[in-house]
Amino acid sequence: GGGTSPLPPDAPYDYYDVLEKTILFFEAQRAGVLPSDNRIPYRGNSATEDGQDNGIDLTGGWYDAGDHVKFNFPMSSSLTLLAWGVLDFKTGYVQSGQYDWALKQVRWGLDYFLLCTQDISQNKYWFQVADGYDDHAFWGRPEQMTMFRPSFAIDAALPGSDVSAETAAAMAAGALIYRDEGDNAYASQLESAAIALYDYAYTYRAKYSDSMSDVVTDFYGSTDYTDELCSGALWLYRLTQDDKYLEYAHEFYSDEAAW
């Protein structure tokens, strides 16, 4: 495995090895210009022009599953869970020798979400790059893609509380990590973006797949947004200790909530 500390001799599974392969999975999904410490030999730079159709930079992030679309709904959920584990189980990551690698993957996703929220002051959030149908018609490596990769945004007229609130949760979790790491500048940047994105999600309410049904319903449609508004509020409360977020969480939590 990838661990630096020996496991107990009676351990049934090598969880250090599991953690290492988990992080390697995320590394293999990276889009954009890869860093010099890339450990996936068959991966290179790809999708380096994402966002240029709208005159912005949306490079980076992770590809989805076995295709090369960047869907922020599952990506934000994945990043929230990854960051949560890194935050609450840091000792295990450190003992297994995977903490620094895990932190790099958390940062990779967070940097991308900061690009996606670059226009949030205008109530615009870039939530997807590439067309799922055009992407699925291509069977090959992302490094060899030539198809047009459009970028899509939700806004005040066509909102998406679910994907926005879940991304806010991921950024709030990330801010907690980097605050603990002593990188207060990056933590503050994430906190500001998370607050603005959650405010947008709370104010302009709709399922993003209703607003953008032609490009997302067939891939990652949403059934409700109350669960994301609740969990996003909880993460922001943990980060800011502002009681209004706890009130929001209670507002959206019920036995009939989306979960």
For residue 1, what pLDDT is reported? 43
CA distances from 183 to 94, 213, 219, 252 (A): 18, 39, 36, 32
Q: What is the mean pLDDT of residues 43-65?
A: 97
Q: Is 132 left (phi over 0), alpha (psi -120 to 50) or beta?
A: alpha
Contact 172, 236 (CB under 8 A): yes
Distances, alpha carbon 61 to alpha carbons 75, 112, 128, in Å:
8, 5, 11
Strand partners of residue 128 = 71, 152
* Average confidence (pLDDT) over 126-136: 96
Nearest to 178 by CA among 249, 247, 114, 242: 114
- Per-residue pLDDT tens for 150-207? 999 999 999 999 999 999 999 999 999 999 999 999 999 999 999 999 999 999 999 9
pLDDT of residue 190: 98
Q: What is the pLDDT of residue 202?
A: 98
CA distances from 199 to 114, 161, 174, 246 (A): 16, 10, 18, 14
The pLDDT-based confidence of 259 (bands split at 50, 70, 90) is low
227: left (phi over 0), alpha (psi -120 to 50) or beta: alpha
Query: Per mean pLDDT, which range of 17-26, 177-186, 250-259 is the poorest?
Result: 250-259
Q: What per-residue confidence (pLDDT) applies to 66?
A: 82
The pLDDT, as a whole number, for residue 33 is: 98
The pLDDT value recorded for residue 59 is 98
Q: Tens of pLDDT along 234-254?
A: 999 999 999 999 999 999 987
Which residue has better confidence, 257 or 219? Answer: 219
The fraction of the chain above a pLDDT of 70, given in percent, is: 96
**Euclidean distance between CA atoms 63 and 89, whole angstroms:** 26
Task: Name which of 21, 30, 25 is nearest 3 in CA terms.
Answer: 21
- Say whether pLDDT at 3 is over 50: no
The alpha carbon of residue 30 and the mean position of all alpha carbons in its chain are separated, in whole angstroms, by 12
d(CA 251, CA 110): 27
Across the chain, mean pLDDT equals 94
- Look at 16 and 82; give whichever has higher pLDDT: 82
pLDDT score at 216: 84
Going by C-alpha positions, the residue among 241, 251, 239 that lies closest to residue 201 is 251
